[in-house]
Amino acid sequence: MATNQLMIMPLLLLIFLLHIVSVASTYLQPGFYSNTCSEAEFIVRDVMKKALIREPRSVASVMRFQFHDCFVNGCDASMLLDDTPTMLGEKQALSNINSLRSFEVVDEVKEALEKACPGVVSCADIIIMASRDAVALTGGPYWEVRLGRLDSLTANQEDSNNIMPSPRANASALMDLFHKYNLSVKDLVALSGSHSIGQGRCFSIMFRLYNQSGTGKPDPAIDPEYRKVLNKLCPLDGDQEVTGNLDATPVVFDNQYFKDLVAGRGFLNSDQTLFTFPETRKFVKLYSRHQNEFFEAFVEGMLKMGDLQSGRPGEVRKNCRVVNARRTHLLLESPNMDNENIAII
């Protein structure tokens, strides 16, 4: 009998390892919820419509979630997790604190989905669908999204701090970041067009206005007339939480953002730098003249970014802010596995 138990143990271990692989690797496809929650995409869109009416800026804020989520260990909704006594979440990371907002919109979407299809639609997929709808509802393109992601079991503030770029970043640093994720210069410029809608804080541009590169002078790339507008909005001794429009049409998703860059009227340094660097300038010029080219490249970039996955185990959270409560769990450790490699069975 003891011999039989010894023979069974390797088999159980194999089954366990296969389970980890199945949990960690998800196949993304359009219509993923067609049989399990056929109304999922309609529900997300309906909540986003209401959010747009209530506060137009909120949908732009939600659209940014895809960027801040997918670049940090894949598209797994880790950035939605609140801090716990044993985990520092990503909401307080340098690029997110006092910047990311409208988490309550995702909460509303999740609540509506849980009523319709309990435990089916992941928070990671909500971010992808809501980002698409934020663009489409404000005049931009609509596209079919690939779904089937799992939600992470943890978050990592340090990773977010190390990965996400600063508003001070130049085009060279941004190109290096995107290259790490197999995203091209074209993808970088097109996806930066997400700043076609929404607002940014004075905090993010004070150095541009008053001390660019430690010179004690403003960024020479800023159009002089536009600089006057920004100086009035963001005085040196003013409230740095005041917000300004990221382009001249902040509630319409269009190619005005690129026209503004050509005119030296980019709000953020990381925006205007796209026109000052030769490698990115050609795409800025192209998209400023041809909105359809921008829309097509933007959709392509969003789909590519949405495919980023960490390969780590996950779940479908019931509440996007916290991992699900568990009665039992198994932890498998080896020299090549960290404490995040947990599979629930």
Question: Is 219 marked as binding a ligand?
Answer: no
C-alpha angle 148/30/108, rounded to 5°? 60
Distance CA 90, CA 102 (A): 15
> What are the residue ranges of helices labelled H in the chain?
2-24, 40-54, 56-70, 103-116, 123-137, 157-163, 171-180, 185-192, 206-210, 224-233, 256-262, 269-276, 278-289, 291-306
Question: Is 249 marked as binding a ligand?
Answer: yes
Distance CA 70, CA 164 (A): 10
Question: Is 114 marked as binding a ligand?
Answer: no
Per-residue tokens: 221: 């790339």
Per-residue tokens: 269: 């340094």
Secondary-structure percent of the chain, ordered helix, strand, coil, rounded to 5: 50, 5, 45
Question: Is 78 marked as binding a ligand?
Answer: yes
Per-residue tokens: 228: 């006057």
Per-residue tokens: 137: 């509802």
- Give me the catalytic one of 19, 68, 290, 329: 68
Distance CA 78, CA 233 (A): 34
Question: Is 187 marked as binding a ligand?
Answer: no
Question: What is the identity of the amino acid at 224?
Answer: P
Distance CA 187, CA 175 (A): 10
For the chain, the C-alpha Rg in angstroms (whole number) is 22
Question: Is 329 marked as binding a ligand?
Answer: no
Question: Is 165 marked as binding a ligand?
Answer: yes
Question: Is 74 marked as binding a ligand?
Answer: yes
Is 68 a catalytic site residue? yes
Residues 6+ apart with CB under 8 A from 34: none
Question: Is 125 marked as binding a ligand?
Answer: no
Question: Is 76 marked as binding a ligand?
Answer: yes
Known binding-site residues for substrate equal 165
Binding site per annotation, positions for Ca(2+): 69, 72, 74, 76, 78, 90, 247, 249, 254
> Annotated binding site for heme b, which residues?
195
- Which residues carry out catalysis? 68
Annotated binding site: which residue ranges?
69, 72, 74, 76, 78, 90, 165, 195, 247, 249, 254
